[in-house]
Structure 1
Amino acid sequence: MGIAASDLRQHVIRPTLLYLQRPSPTAERLLLGTAACQSALGSELDCNHGRGLYRISDERHQQLWDEHLAFDPDLASRVRGLASQHAFLTAPHLELIVNLRYATAIAWLLVESSILVLPAADDLIGMAAVWRQVFQPEGNLREFIDAWQRHVGGLSQVA
């Protein structure tokens, strides 16, 4: 059993985006849909395809730090502030499983670093296209839409 969509959005996704100074209803919905599609909102947090709500691989996590955050020390410091003080140093990828806000920040920054134009907040197919490009290149847009409908429901239900 995963996290309720409204709770995930209200208590994890929205505050994380605000903390990163990137508030956006579209980003909130994209991350919510991604969590629904990747892990059924947290029902499966560690598998061969990646870790945490967003199923981010260790390699993608490291690549984001090496190729994006390393060049923005202020943002890197902000993201590092979300991580556990000592555990991050010994097992940084574990943060993707145990730390929802850290995982959400990393997921959003993967989207941001892809330099994509975000769709409108009510464009489910557009969000599915971004999900596929950033998180699941072999994925089918229908997977995202089905996961949204199964785990989140209507767009207005998570406003």
Structure 2
Amino acid sequence: MGIAAGDLSRHVIRPTLMYLDRHSACAESFLLGVAASQSALGAALDSRRGHGLYCIPELRHRQIWDNYLALDPELASRVRGLASQHAFLTGPHLELTVNLRYSTAIAWLMVEAHGVFLPSDENPLLMAKIWREIFEPQGRLRDFISAWQSCVAPLSYPV
């Protein structure tokens, strides 16, 4: 059993995107769809594919820090502020599993670093293509669309 979609969106995804000054209804919807398709909204937080809600691999986590955040010290500081003070230093990848806001920030930065723009409306097919490109290259579009339709579509997103 995972986290209720509305709670995850309201208490984790939206505040994290707002904290990063990256909030939009579509970004919120997309990340919720990624969490739904990758981990069934947290029902399975660790797999061989990666860690946390978004199943982020350790290599991708390091690449975000080394190749993206290293170029923007202010953003890196903001993201680092979401991480646990001591646990991050000893087990940074564990933060992806236990710290929902931190993993949400890293997931969003994976999208940003990839240079992909989300559609202006909530188009599940276009979001599925972006999900597959960034998070699950071997994934089936219908898996994302199904997860998105069951978890995300029933919610409304006030801006």
Deviation at 1:17, TM superposition (A): 0.3
Post-superposition CA distance 1:95-140 (Å, at most 9, x none): 0000000000000000000001211332111111111111001111
Partner Cα separation in structure 1 for residue 151 and residue 122 of structure 2? 16
Q: Does 1:105 align with 2:105?
A: yes
What are the within-5 Å matches in structure 2 for residues 10-159 of structure 1?
10-154=10-154, 157-159=155-157
| Range that drifts further, 1-10 or 116-125 | 116-125
Amino acid at match of 2:151: H
Structure 2 residue runs of 5 or longer lacking an equivalent are none
1:8 equivalent in structure 2 = 8
CA-based RMSD of the aligned residues comes to: 0.9
Amino acid in the other structure paired with 1:27: A
Q: CA deviation at 1:158?
A: 3.5
CA–CA distance in structure 2, aligned partners of residues 45 and 121 of structure 1: 29
List gaps (5 residues or longer) in structure 1: none
Q: Distance in 1 between matches of 2:95 and 2:134?
A: 20
| Matches of 1:121 and 1:54, distance apart in 2 | 22
Letter in 2 for 1:111: V
Q: Percent identity?
A: 62
Offset at 1:39?
0.1
- The offset of 1:153, in angstroms, is 4.2
Query: TM-score by structure 1 length?
Result: 0.96
- Distance in 2 separating the partners of 1:86 and 1:122: 38
8 Å CA contact retained: 2:29, 2:152: no
Aligned residues: 157
Normalization by structure 2: what TM-score? 0.96
Is 1:5–1:158's contact at 8 Å kept on the other side of the alignment?
A: no
Aligned equivalents of 2:119 and 2:74: distance in 1?
27
